């Protein structure tokens, strides 16, 4: 490999790290704990610290699916050269940095996806229509499903005929069942999930053992939360909220790291010097630093400017956020955590009348999402046209 090519690879890697920093400072670093901060369950600085660590863990243990989709699933028939990767990452990171500076949560998934598609098409690639339909369906259904589930939970939690020592443990049971069925890279040799790995120790079929482990996790989670809420309702709700925020932060790292390192994967394909795990590790570290140094501003924007959240509305926001995030990770679809969280905030806000939801802020945010996708697509196509082969 000649020195010029090595230099381009190095610049692309630095651009990827910058993108990871921007993601940590913006979407993945701010959104998971914004509802918890709004509910006064944790301070802004402590939230930034915790979300950085959990996002890093999610990146290195679950980040492969989305990374592969971003790297090779959005455009058919062409692999981005180092110059194309640099263009994609600078466009995505630049638009995200504008969002962080202005306080509006630009959707990272929209900017990076648009830039990859724009550059790839300019270089002669073909549209990956099947993947676009899948991505578009997730993006369109996220606000509908997330808002609806958040609305339903927010309307249920304060009802006198459904005590919170019943309703909250039911939510905990659902979350516990999902957690033990998450796929982790380090468990691939034993089924890929906690339920699958634990089930192999039982003298029964795989399907039956997985169902048993799932039921056990569900019951244990429910009983623990019921005990905690029963002895201290306010404290129990806040601790459950923090647990949900931790799961969403972990899921954010798993999803968002693909937007930073995914474009790099084709560059390092077919060689063993820089394995995929090393790229995920680097991306996770970049996101961690971004969360620690840049996330507090966006956490404040989401937790205070969009709505005044209490523990119950925050729980209603984070439960669908966790579920949607993990569905996207499983499908390998780049998804916007800003879209997920804001949809949940709106849904839970409408459940209590919607008076404290800033409609102007939401309208501007939606326009920023649409504009960032269109702008990144146009900038990507323009940049790709200027590259050799464009």
10-residue averages of pLDDT along the chain (390 residues): 72 86 75 74 84 91 88 88 88 79 74 93 92 93 93 85 88 95 74 79 79 94 95 90 91 89 80 74 90 79 61 88 92 86 84 68 80 92 84
CA distance to 68, 96, 164, 305, per residue, from 155 (Å): 39, 34, 12, 22
| pLDDT on residue 190 | 53
Length of the chain: 390
Triad 92, 245, 50: Cα angle to 5°? 75
Residue keyed to tokens 């309208």:
363
Strand, coil or helix: 104:
coil
Residue 185 DSSP symbol: G
| pLDDT on residue 358 | 67
Residue 126 parent element (H or E): strand 126-127
Residue keyed to tokens 């400072």:
25
| pLDDT on residue 131 | 93
Q: Is the Cβ–Cβ distance between 266 and 72 less than 8 Å?
A: yes
| pLDDT on residue 307 | 46
Domain regions of the chain by residue span: 3-157+245-318+332-386
Q: How far apart are CA 264 and CA 13, in angstroms?
A: 7
| pLDDT on residue 12 | 84
* Sign, Cα dihedral of 330, 336, 342, 343: negative
Distance of CA 260 to the CA centre of its chain: 12
Q: Is the Cβ–Cβ distance between 8 and 279 less than 8 Å?
A: no
Q: How far apart are CA 10 and CA 274, in angstroms?
A: 12
Residue 163 DSSP symbol: -
Residue 176: name the closest of 141, 209, 135, 225 by CA: 225
| pLDDT on residue 339 | 84
Q: How far apart are CA 173 and CA 169, in angstroms?
A: 6
């Amino acid at each position: 490999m000649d020195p010029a090519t090595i230099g381009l690879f190095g610049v692309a890697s630095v651009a990827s790290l910058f993108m990871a920093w921007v993601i940590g400072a913006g979407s993945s670093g701010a959104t998971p704990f914004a509802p918890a901060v709004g509910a006064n369950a944790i301070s802004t600085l402590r939230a930034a610290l915790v979300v950085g660590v959990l996002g890093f863990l999610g990146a290195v243990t679950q980040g492969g699916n989305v990374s592969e989709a971003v790297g090779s699933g959005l455009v058919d028939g062409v692999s981005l050269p180092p110059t194309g990767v640099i263009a994609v990452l600078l466009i995505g990171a630049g638009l995200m940095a504008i969002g962080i500076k202005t306080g509006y949560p630009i959707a990272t998934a929209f900017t990076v996806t648009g830039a990859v598609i724009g550059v790839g098409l300019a270089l002669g690639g073909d549209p990956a229509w099947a993947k676009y339909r899948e991505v578009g369906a997730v993006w369109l259904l996220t606000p509908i499903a997330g808002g609806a589930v958040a609305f339903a939970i927010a309307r249920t939690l304060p009802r006198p005929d459904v005590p919170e020592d019943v309703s909250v443990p039911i939510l905990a049971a659902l979350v516990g069942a999902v957690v033990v069925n998450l796929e982790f890279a380090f468990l691939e040799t034993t089924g890929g999930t906690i339920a699958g790995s634990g089930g192999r120790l039982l003298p029964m079929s795989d399907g039956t053992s997985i169902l048993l482990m799932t039921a056990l996790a569900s019951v244990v989670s429910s009983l623990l939360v019921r005990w905690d809420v029963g002895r201290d309702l306010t404290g129990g709700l806040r601790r459950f909220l923090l647990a949900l925020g931790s799961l969403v932060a972990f899921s954010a790292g798993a999803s968002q790291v693909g937007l930073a390192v995914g474009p790099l994967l084709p560059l390092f394909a077919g060689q063993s010097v820089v394995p995929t795990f090393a790229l995920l590790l680097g991306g996770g570290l970049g996101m961690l630093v971004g969360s620690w140094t840049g996330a507090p501003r966006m956490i404040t924007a989401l937790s205070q400017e969009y709505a005044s959240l209490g523990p119950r509305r925050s729980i209603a926001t984070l439960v669908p956020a966790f579920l949607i995030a993990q569905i996207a990770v499983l499908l390998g679809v780049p998804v916007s955590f800003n879209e997920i969280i804001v949809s949940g905030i709106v849904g839970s806000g409408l459940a209590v009348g919607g008076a404290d939801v800033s409609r102007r802020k939401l309208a501007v945010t939606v326009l920023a999402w649409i504009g960032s996708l269109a702008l990144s697509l146009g900038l990507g196509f323009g940049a790709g046209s200027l590259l050799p082969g464009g």
